[in-house]
Structure 1
């Protein structure tokens, strides 16, 4: 296949490439590298020769007439749609998430045209998307071009990618093999046998034995969401009933609703599909589903990897007929971490669950070279590295990595990124670009027997002075890339918090086979020592708070100074900020921040944090320096505890007693766990009686009142002032005497 690099010749070549791809059942990627005008002319000529422009999609600013388009960073919105040709103009910036999402829309026989600056200049080309990686205090040039250099190499080495440079002779690309034809589906509604098996599994979950959930896993483009919609339509047509589909947001489940509506011959209206014969499929957010009084007949959870494991586990316990579906290698986060974490929950709660893996792609045949090169370029298939032998302290070595080395050591890059993907469910392709190019980042590896045992990605932040620091404190400035000192100043309220030099741990991961051996704590300890020697004031982290994570960071010497008042829309958790002082100045800042939290957190528990899980509320309360209750407070508490004063007239004293006792680490096991949950839910969070009783494992108000009275009696007997203890003993004795009389 020969020809020049002028638009007319490339148009002819595009037609031949598209015909070859259509016959093979594959797609073809073409890299056009040169000046912006030349790549645009050639790209338009190839598009018009190879596809219907009206069914294509162009991501960029300067778009030819009659071609659907989106902004350079708008491709993620097209997940689930289909195109005949995709044009990505890298002159306007390259969004890794969008590139992955966009390529997933192109059907067999389609071309992907990547328009890029001259190959030699591309890594240093001003990329508007790199602005997402810029950090205040670093010049734009500090954003490295490692991601583009690696992408350029992968595309140049790929035998099926057509590379055409302006003014050069177009390189030959290997002819496409013919992909294997997929097995017949056996179901006219389904495109593949995999999809038909998934539909049957969902129907079985809805109609067969209870407590046997199904888990559908698939890469993008395998028809997973369509299978959920087809199955929901079949169930509604035959049985009616109420089916709920949930996910991290409405847009994540639109494909399920569309396919259900299409199968039933109706339309989606406000997130609901009404079946002609009765029954409906409707969308609810996970928290809305948790609050439902009457459970639906079937629950479908799509994109389950983006829903917190704790919420998934709660849904699993609440609903006897439930299906979980997730993308394994996704562009918005990975499902591999979901599989790793949630499998244990399924085994424990519903041991007869079944997994259905959808392997066969819908829009192209298996073995598509565009998908293969995409997986390599974005590390969508990065997996866990082999673990070291473990146990030998001397075999552990902490190494700060020069990120330039990752361009020459692809296995190492895959190992450490695979470890991060498994540890953090929201790891996306943009995180790979940030890891390679972020200007203020450090990458530390914990090695064992020459294998990657752990990894930490940390950021250099803070050091603002004068008016800038004060503007950050007042909320008038929000410097990009300085989360820890900015939050310490503007959210916690520490006036000079932004002036601190801080090392923020952005990501940390230890190989699952080596966890619970102290390696994560050791990694954090060595990072802190290095930061102390380098003159930092603080180290810290911000993450979605769970009891396990709070305990991990506390064990490593970090202290909570803030809990976000709103839950994250994707994770369903509140964001915790935990810090550790590394200098006298840092220690003083931590003390002041803890003082602010001791003042603010108890008040927040009664309003914006009233729905916070009691176990987590207790962990964050413990160790705070809260005021000691007065003798009057104790007298109110004793009056309530011994049955002579109503709860409502003792509330203020009870609040101060409970707050002080629960904040004391010495009171960790006193009173018992159920009583501690009741004290938090009712006395500190002011939840309604029924809600607080449920949190404490009681049936209603009478049982909770008795539980609280018993708890306060115990606290008064061991912790109240001597005069109050004597009074309590006398009241208790009189009560015993009256009872016996």
Structure 2
């Protein structure tokens, strides 16, 4: 190993000079040998730090503490470092804490991958290491590692497919060998590969602070790069008092210091804004989870202290949720809550991980908002944010936008070889294919091909370009895309990948499909009682909500993802993909094809056009996406046709009767579309609502007289329920505005003003269409025109008397 260490020392010396990182891989199954080899590498690094006059460094060590072998490796290395090292200390953590390490900085890292390789963990943790440091991976024996059963792989399995595929680690190994790295086989005491990287000597640039500034100069001194200076200065622009919306957009790759710069800038903002505003200054910070904004809060505390502002923090379990002073506060709220709350400024960190509808709500509801997002990173894709959100803002005349791009890394110098490897292995920079005129012509003419892709080939050298284009489409089409998704495509045994390509060879559509069912017989009763099962989302929901045991014995495909190249959406590519997937599912003998997604009217229309029916919807909005998750299904066999039709009928009844409760905030266009998917009416025999004669007369005086809606709301509610429950041929004819008003005002019970804001139907029009609805019901169900309203007839009084007795009405 001495020759290996000599070359590693030479490379690390260059890395320190160039402020770059180096990738070191130690492979073996003997925990004692692995621990000893790791100790030699760490002590070599320690000695180098001493020779270079560097201060004490923290090396992060992350492992799975439930495995004895992993504990043994850690103990050997920890003991050796504690006894012999002078310039480094090990900080021991477990993978379950990886979220909490976001935004921290270390002078080296050891990732024990001997028991697991979770792509998200690699993406998160490698980026906490600063330049001039080693990134050390501990892995099983090199030749056996490909088919190692890791925790991640096991969690991808389902009862029907208990063994994973072994594709991702083979890809991971290939990418290590394709990039500059040091790979040593500890068990065989020989190097697998050793390639040095020539880093240019790093020269720190002097920062230029703008001459005219409104924030204290001490704040600018906290910046580490010129890009951070630009972010801080741009936050001064947010102080403007114009009537228009002010939006600051910050885009950067991972590790560019956007969160830290925002934390520093917020101290200046609240101080300056409080001087110009009487009253309390409130800033809301949001992100997919509170761990993502810890760097922002920590730098805010530091910045506040630097400029003499008294600041206190509110923590829960070591996580900061608020920093506040006497007349200001900066608070974390989840995205949906942030959209609804009042604030002087809203800051969205990792905006690409927040659904576009929620971003729109935040923008519309606040005069000042900041959107910071990673272009390439495990949290989401900034380009997707650019494609789906920014165009709306740019086209809005009432919005002013300032855009800052951050390029310079904070922790290491540009051109870092470990960053290049990380982006390559996790496809963080995957892009869709570039389309030319010939490709666009092929799409217009429908010259499309349906590709059935083998994951093993897809992750090979031959298939890699197609994989990048396909994954790039996912990145742009979905609000959240993670490295774990890449691992799932590779190794989930029940998942299949399909693509749509032009006959010119460009990938323009992508599908990910999961086989679900049949459910093992010994699990059915448990699921009916509320038990859980890995995967099998569609059978599980059918058992729990439709309660039909037979569905457990069926098999089908769940569409996990379907995405179209962003430049050619709306041209039938998705519809083509679903049609071909349905054909293939039939060939395979499947009973159904289904999917689940955050419901919007546009998306639901797309699925309904392809023959799918809605069958279930979550009773609560997803706390991250802010949407109700809906399931849609399409039968492929006669037996499944009646099950799915009945599921749709019962689902519509559930929605209809819950619009005033669980689904009161469901968007009206989605609610209307759900109620109108009615191949079987909710109540096929309902010809006429059963109203008491007194109620019929009340309906007349409401429809033709002075009675207000509030006095007759119980009647209109019952009639609305009848309208959406009975066959179409027996319904009164009403226009679209009436349907919308029935859903929003009557069934959801919203205020007149709220209905007007949501639907753009004016108050007077709402009142008018509801009265007209009453008249149409009178004509359709009771054949009553304007003449009427003379009270309850003697005949009906006799009926009351015979039923309840004279004393009730005090009739002689």
Using structure 2 for the length normalisation, give the TM-score.
0.82
Residue equivalent to 1:401:
453
1:104 aligns with 2:127: yes
Residue by residue over 1:67-86, the C-alpha shift from the partner in whole angstroms, topping out at 9 and shown as x without a partner, is 32333454233111111111
Structure 1, 607-616 or 336-345: larger mean CA deviation: 607-616
- How far off is 1:689 after superposition? 5.8
Residue equivalent to 1:3:
2
Query: Any idea what SS the aligned residue of 2:107 has?
Result: strand
Query: Any idea what SS the aligned residue of 1:80 has?
Result: coil
- How far off is 1:575 after superposition? 0.6
1:132 aligns with 2:182: no
Task: State whether residues 199 and 230 of structure 1, in contact with CA within 8 Å, keep that contact through their aligned partners in structure 2.
Answer: yes
Query: Any idea what SS the aligned residue of 2:206 has?
Result: coil
Map 1:182-221; keep pairs closer than 5 Å: 183-186=205-208, 187-207=220-240, 209=242, 210-221=244-255
Task: State whether residues 640 and 709 of structure 1, in contact with CA within 8 Å, keep that contact through their aligned partners in structure 2.
Answer: no
CA–CA separation in structure 1 for the residues paired with 2:204 and 2:741: 58
5+ residue gaps, structure 1, are 733-741
- How far off is 1:555 after superposition? 1.2
Map 1:525-540; keep pairs closer than 5 Å: 525-540=579-594
Map 1:304-343; keep pairs closer than 5 Å: 304-343=351-390
- How far off is 1:152 after superposition? 0.4
CA–CA separation in structure 2 for the residues paired with 1:327 and 1:642: 60
Check 1:573–1:296 CA distance in 2 against 1; reply closer, same or farther (3 A cut). same
CA–CA separation in structure 2 for the residues paired with 1:728 and 1:450: 67
Using structure 1 for the length normalisation, give the TM-score.
0.90
Task: State whether residues 470 and 496 of structure 1, in contact with CA within 8 Å, keep that contact through their aligned partners in structure 2.
Answer: no
Check 1:165–1:281 CA distance in 2 against 1; reply closer, same or farther (3 A cut). same
- How far off is 1:17 after superposition? 4.4
Residue by residue over 1:587-615, the C-alpha shift from the partner in whole angstroms, topping out at 9 and shown as x without a partner, is 01101211221332222222122222222
Check 1:499–1:329 CA distance in 2 against 1; reply closer, same or farther (3 A cut). same
CA–CA separation in structure 2 for the residues paired with 1:104 and 1:321: 31
Residue equivalent to 2:314:
269
- How far off is 1:399 after superposition? 1.7
CA–CA separation in structure 2 for the residues paired with 1:157 and 1:651: 71
Residue equivalent to 2:213:
none
CA–CA separation in structure 2 for the residues paired with 1:42 and 1:161: 16
- How far off is 1:493 after superposition? 3.6
- How far off is 1:696 after superposition? 4.7
Structure 1, 640-649 or 301-310: larger mean CA deviation: 640-649
Residue by residue over 1:276-319, the C-alpha shift from the partner in whole angstroms, topping out at 9 and shown as x without a partner, is 6x322222333333333xx4222211111122211211221222
Residue equivalent to 1:77:
100
- How far off is 1:321 after superposition? 1.6
Residue equivalent to 2:527:
472
Check 1:260–1:578 CA distance in 2 against 1; reply closer, same or farther (3 A cut). same
1:172 aligns with 2:194: yes
Please tell me the root mean square deviation across aligned C-alpha atoms, in Å: 2.7
Check 1:643–1:87 CA distance in 2 against 1; reply closer, same or farther (3 A cut). farther
CA–CA separation in structure 1 for the residues paired with 2:380 and 2:512: 18
Pairing partner for 1:505 from 555, 559, 565:
559
Check 1:239–1:587 CA distance in 2 against 1; reply closer, same or farther (3 A cut). same
Residue by residue over 1:369-426, the C-alpha shift from the partner in whole angstroms, topping out at 9 and shown as x without a partner, is 0000000000000012123223454621112112221113211111111111111121
CA–CA separation in structure 2 for the residues paired with 1:41 and 1:267: 45
Pairing partner for 1:432 from 486, 498, 517:
486
Residue by residue over 1:508-556, the C-alpha shift from the partner in whole angstroms, topping out at 9 and shown as x without a partner, is 1111222211111111011112212322111010111112111111111
Structure 1, 124-133 or 100-109: larger mean CA deviation: 124-133
1:655 aligns with 2:717: yes
Residue by residue over 1:406-453, the C-alpha shift from the partner in whole angstroms, topping out at 9 and shown as x without a partner, is 113211111111111111121100100111111011211111011112
Check 1:522–1:394 CA distance in 2 against 1; reply closer, same or farther (3 A cut). closer
Task: State whether residues 300 and 323 of structure 1, in contact with CA within 8 Å, keep that contact through their aligned partners in structure 2.
Answer: yes
CA–CA separation in structure 1 for the residues paired with 2:287 and 2:699: 45
CA–CA separation in structure 1 for the residues paired with 2:769 and 2:59: 69
Residue equivalent to 2:297:
257
Task: State whether residues 472 and 486 of structure 1, in contact with CA within 8 Å, keep that contact through their aligned partners in structure 2.
Answer: yes
- How far off is 1:260 after superposition? 1.2
Query: Any idea what SS the aligned residue of 1:39 has?
Result: helix
CA–CA separation in structure 2 for the residues paired with 1:712 and 1:724: 18
Number of aligned residue pairs: give it. Answer: 713
5+ residue gaps, structure 2, are 47-55, 66-70, 83-89, 209-219, 275-280, 306-310, 316-320, 791-812
CA–CA separation in structure 2 for the residues paired with 1:309 and 1:394: 30
Query: Any idea what SS the aligned residue of 2:313 has?
Result: coil
CA–CA separation in structure 1 for the residues paired with 2:134 and 2:387: 36
Check 1:512–1:288 CA distance in 2 against 1; reply closer, same or farther (3 A cut). closer
Task: State whether residues 473 and 498 of structure 1, in contact with CA within 8 Å, keep that contact through their aligned partners in structure 2.
Answer: no
CA–CA separation in structure 1 for the residues paired with 2:434 and 2:538: 33
Pairing partner for 2:785 from 718, 724, 727:
727
Larger Rg: 2
CA–CA separation in structure 2 for the residues paired with 1:441 and 1:697: 44
Pairing partner for 1:296 from 332, 340, 343:
343
Pairing partner for 2:174 from 147, 150, 153:
153
- How far off is 1:576 after superposition? 0.6
Residue equivalent to 2:507:
452
Task: State whether residues 28 and 139 of structure 2, in contact with CA within 8 Å, keep that contact through their aligned partners in structure 1.
Answer: yes
Structure 1, 124-133 or 354-363: larger mean CA deviation: 124-133
CA–CA separation in structure 2 for the residues paired with 1:697 and 1:452: 41
1:144 aligns with 2:143: no
